[in-house]
């Protein structure tokens, strides 16, 4: 299958490209390289340096590369930034996908696997989160993604042959198991890279925000999924997608990991006892957020292979040790 991978030079998108190649597909990367890395794109894979808002150019690309399906990872994804710059997020994450969908409509491409987010659920009172949990985002990032899901539903209603999947997940972790590609963000806000950078001495210390939550060790619990499991799920869903399908799936391990468990795993894997301070709770941090991934297992037989913090950290640590300054084009 010829697959256009938008955001394919980013953390998750670059791993998706590798998974597609392993599955015998022909990926084409579309990325404006704002936060992506040219060096993350697999050798021999075409890289189209385009923006999602360039509808005409994307239409041409879809036709020239005879694209069968789009896999969309192109998004801004910092919650705090979305609060401070909401228009930027709606323009990129929502209007950008609207532009992409218009290009697909013009080029006759009728399938898309969309990387959504569990941020569309907001702060549910009941755990675990199922696909039927009411969606009520608490920030522009979550809303920008939820609006896209609504657009897909409305477009599918008017075009019965259109097929889409929206995959919702929380924290992505790890790197390619061979450490050839990994996580390189600027700024970096994800807990495992922050901790690993602290272990490497690139940061003086790390901070745990609150240890008095109603959880077993007092720290927040979140759902972490290994990046290779995540992109495997995207590929499995894509291969199952048939005309008219409307698939909504939560992706995760079905069990949460606490901040303290992640800190302990990083110290164990690295063998470095770096400094971790205890800070105040951050406003709006729920005690627990984790997904119920049983729907995709029941319907497609998929489930995450990596469910322990140590393995996720080991793979991330291998990447960080070999690439302490990230990609060459950083």
Catalytic machinery residues: 141
| Unique residue bearing structure tokens 């789009």 | 70
Helices (H), the chain: 11-22, 55-64, 79-84, 86-89, 96-107, 140-158, 191-199, 227-240, 259-270, 294-300, 309-322
| Unique residue bearing structure tokens 């609207």 | 98
The candidate with the shortest Cα–Cα distance to 114, out of 18, 11, 12, is 12
Sign of CA dihedral 251, 315, 189, 45: negative
d(CA 318, CA 19): 19
d(CA 95, CA 236): 27
Number of other residues whose CB lies within 10 A of the CB of residue 236: 18
Number of other residues whose CB lies within 10 A of the CB of residue 104: 23
Give me 132's structure tokens.
């039927």
Indicate the pairing of strand 221-222 with strand 163-168: unpaired
The candidate with the shortest Cα–Cα distance to 131, out of 283, 259, 299, 15, is 299
Indicate the pairing of strand 111-115 with strand 257-258: unpaired
Instruction: List phi, psi (to 5°) of 7.
Output: 70, 25
| Unique residue bearing structure tokens 């941090």 | 285
């Amino acid at each position: 299958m010829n697959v256009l991978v938008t955001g394919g030079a980013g953390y998750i998108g670059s791993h998706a490209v590798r998974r597609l190649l392993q599955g015998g597909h022909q990926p084409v990367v579309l990325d404006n390289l704002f936060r992506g890395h040219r060096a993350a794109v697999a050798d021999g894979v075409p890289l189209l340096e385009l923006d999602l808002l360039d509808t005409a150019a994307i239409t041409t690309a879809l036709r020239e590369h005879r694209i069968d399906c789009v896999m969309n990872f192109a998004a801004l994804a910092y919650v705090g930034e979305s609060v401070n710059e909401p228009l930027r997020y709606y323009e990129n994450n929502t209007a950008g996908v609207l532009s992409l969908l218009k290009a697909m409509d013009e080029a006759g491409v009728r399938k898309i696997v969309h990387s959504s987010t569990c941020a569309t659920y907001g702060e549910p009172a009941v755990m675990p989160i199922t696909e039927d949990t009411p969606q009520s985002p608490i920030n522009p990032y979550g809303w920008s993604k939820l609006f896209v899901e609504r657009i897909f539903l409305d477009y599918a209603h008017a075009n019965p042959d259109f097929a889409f999947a929206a995959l919702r997940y929380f924290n992505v972790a790890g790197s390619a198991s061979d450490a050839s590609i990994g996580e390189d963000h600027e700024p970096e806000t994800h807990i495992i890279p922050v901790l690993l950078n602290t272990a490497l001495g690139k940061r003086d210390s790390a901070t745990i925000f609150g240890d008095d939550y109603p959880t077993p060790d007092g720290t927040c619990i979140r759902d972490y999924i290994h990046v290779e499991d995540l992109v495997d799920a995207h590929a499995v869903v894509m291969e199952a997608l048939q005309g008219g399908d409307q698939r909504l799936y939560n992706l995760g391990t079905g069990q949460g990991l606490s901040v303290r468990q992640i800190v302990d795993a990083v110290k164990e894997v690295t063998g470095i006892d770096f400094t971790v301070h205890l800070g105040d709770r951050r406003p709006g941090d729920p005690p627990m957020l984790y997904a119920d991934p049983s729907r995709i297992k029941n319907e497609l037989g998929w489930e995450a292979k990596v469910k322990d913090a140590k393995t996720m950290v080991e793979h991330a640590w291998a990447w960080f040790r070999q690439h302490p300054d990230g990609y060459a084009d950083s």
